[in-house]
């Protein structure tokens, strides 16, 4: 469910024509729908009504301050994976008491920052991290509330590159070592054990692997309680899939919530959720302009002004994004099959192969749908292209929430050593 629809012959985001935004801001640019973000946050909150739950939005899906502030206003917390994301969440108004810190590579400086801020929970991913966190906590003089992220050895996720819960993945503590590590945590100064954490992957289209993982986690949590650990929280991570194209039917949040209620029933756990894609994915589009059509012997290339540096999901995961023209094609509009490619000097800079679209002319504008998560956050300035701007729509109004940098800003951090300028 999202708020991108044709109205009066033009694709709109809520009450704003995307042609208007493209004309004003230029392309490529991302456009997000406030109403869709809010709706998704509320649908999840509704689904979990009656359960004790913290919705810790996964900042890495889309960390723009205005997006975070929109979700903060809905009561969302944050799941962060770096000190930078922690500061973003705080700056956007998310209280530290609603922030959990995940990730396999936390540094001592990041730990100290999070302790000083007073975050809700560290999701600890290794023995080494646990020991360092203990040292830092003692130094800072604050106990670190921790859950160990366990690796349940369950395969899940829409692509091998986004599976995180198999035994060969780098994430989490090996299943067989979890209990010994909890015992060590109990002995370490500065460490306060509060829960168990798991996150098995992303773009998961089926509840079966999630249920299998959560059942294992609850069993472990109860066993840990039996060993005297104060396990109050189960953090189930994120990973719920979204529809990217017709026919995709990921489990609805209600079914997800019901499954979690069933698996955790009767034990008084606080449930922590870390949804990312399911909140932001269908709340954003990437606007682009067609530049050229180029005929090869066996295919037609449609060359557009967005590249893999702006939206890397197709190149990285073979991901599918629907492509819609901003001007609504009429019933008789010709159709044509294209390879849709960007301007980057890489063969993987391809958004779609043999995609049938309403025929496109140079200058026509298009939207990549479902680009709100893992879009702008993964963008780069490769090929010296300016970082792609972002726009937030709210009803009939919109604002630029990250503008396109100037050439001076893009090169402003660089410095040519004096010895080069002197010899020149």
Ligand X SMILES: *Cc1c(COP(=O)(O)O)cnc(C)c1O
Please give the structure tokens belonging to residue 419. 């010895």
Does 349 bind ligand X (CB under 6 A)? Our answer is no
Rule CB under 6 A: say whether 40 interacts with ligand X: no
Give the span between the Cα atoms of 105 and 101, in whole angstroms: 11
Among 27, 34, 70, 102, interactor with ligand X by CB under 6 A: 102
151 contacts ligand X (rule: CB under 6 A): no
238 binds ligand X (CB under 6 A): yes
Using CB under 6 A as the binding rule, whether residue 390 contacts ligand X is answered as no
Nearer to ligand X, 14 or 125 (CB): 125
In Å, how far from its chain's centre is CA 297?
39
Options 66-74, 276-284, 322-330, 407-415: segment touching ligand X (CB under 6 A): 276-284
**Residue 275 touching ligand X (CB under 6 A):** yes
Span from 65-73, 114-122, 234-242, 337-345 in contact with ligand X (CB under 6 A): 234-242
Q: Can you read off the two tokens belonging to residue 212? A: 């299998």
- Comparison of 122 and 398: residue with beta carbon closer to ligand X: 122
Name which of 111, 155, 109, 152 is nearest 130 in CA terms: 111
345 is catalytic: yes
The interface with ligand X within residues 362-381 (CB under 6 A) comprises 373
Write the CB contacts of 187 (distance below 8 Å, at least 6 apart in sequence): none
The one among 14, 129, 153, 274 contacting ligand X by CB under 6 A: 274
DSSP result, 197-263: E---BSSB--HHHHHHHHHHHHHHHHHHHHTT----EEE----B----STT--PPPHHHHHHHHHHH
CB 275 to ligand X: min, Å:
5
**What CA dihedral angle connects 172, 68, 51 and 231, to 10 degrees?**
30
Q: Is 342 in the site for ligand X (CB under 6 A)?
A: no
314 binds ligand X (CB under 6 A): no
- Which residues between 65 and 94 bind ligand X (CB under 6 A)? 79
Provide the binding-site residues for ligand X, judged by CB under 6 A.
58, 60-61, 79, 102, 199, 202, 237-240, 274-278, 373
The residues annotated with a catalytic role in the active site are 345
């Amino acid at each position: 469910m999202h708020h991108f629809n044709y109205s009066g012959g033009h694709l709109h985001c809520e009450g704003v024509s995307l042609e208007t935004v493209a004309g004003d801001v230029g392309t490529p640019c991302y456009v997000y729908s406030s109403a869709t973000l809010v709706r998704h946050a509320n649908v999840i909150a509704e689904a979990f009504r009656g359960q004790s739950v913290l919705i810790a939005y996964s900042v890495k899906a889309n960390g723009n301050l205005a997006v975070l502030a929109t979700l903060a206003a809905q009561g969302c917390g944050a799941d962060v994976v770096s000190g930078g994301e922690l500061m973003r969440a705080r700056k956007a108004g998310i209280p530290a008491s609603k922030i959990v810190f995940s990730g396999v590579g936390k540094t001592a400086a990041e730990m100290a920052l999070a302790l000083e801020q007073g975050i809700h929970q560290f999701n600890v991913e290794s023995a080494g991290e646990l020991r360092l966190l203990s040292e830092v906590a003692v130094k800072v003089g604050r106990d670190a509330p921790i859950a160990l992220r366990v690796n349940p050895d369950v395969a899940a996720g829409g692509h091998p590159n986004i599976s995180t819960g198999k035994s060969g993945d780098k994430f989490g503590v090996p299943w067989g070592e979890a209990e010994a590590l909890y015992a060590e945590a109990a002995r370490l100064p500065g460490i306060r054990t509060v829960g168990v954490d798991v996150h098995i992957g992303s773009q998961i289209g089926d509840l079966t692997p999630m249920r299998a993982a959560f059942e294992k986690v609850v069993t472990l949590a109860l066993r840990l309680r039996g060993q005297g650990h104060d396990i109050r929280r189960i953090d189930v991570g994120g990973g719920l899939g979204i529809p990217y194209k017709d026919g995709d039917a990921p489990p609805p949040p209600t079914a997800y919530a019901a499954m979690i209620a069933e698996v955790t029933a009767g034990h008084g756990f606080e449930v922590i959720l870390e949804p990312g894609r399911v909140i932001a994915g269908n709340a954003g589009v990437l606007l682009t302009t067609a530049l050229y059509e180029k005929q090869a012997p066996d295919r037609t290339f449609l060359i557009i002004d967005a590249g893999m540096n702006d939206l890397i999901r197709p190149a990285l995961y073979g991901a599918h994004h629907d492509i819609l023209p901003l001007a609504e094609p009429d019933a008789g509009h010709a159709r044509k099959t294209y390879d849709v490619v960007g301007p980057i000097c890489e063969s993987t800079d391809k958004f779609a192969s043999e995609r049938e679209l309403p025929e496109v002319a140079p200058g026509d504008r298009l939207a990549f749908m479902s680009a709100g998560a893992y879009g702008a956050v993964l963008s780069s300035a490769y090929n010296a292209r300016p970082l792609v701007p972002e726009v937030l729509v709210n009803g009939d109004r919109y604002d630029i929430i990250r503008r396109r940098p100037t050439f001076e800003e893009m090169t402003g951090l660089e410095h040519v050593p004096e010895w080069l300028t002197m010899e020149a």
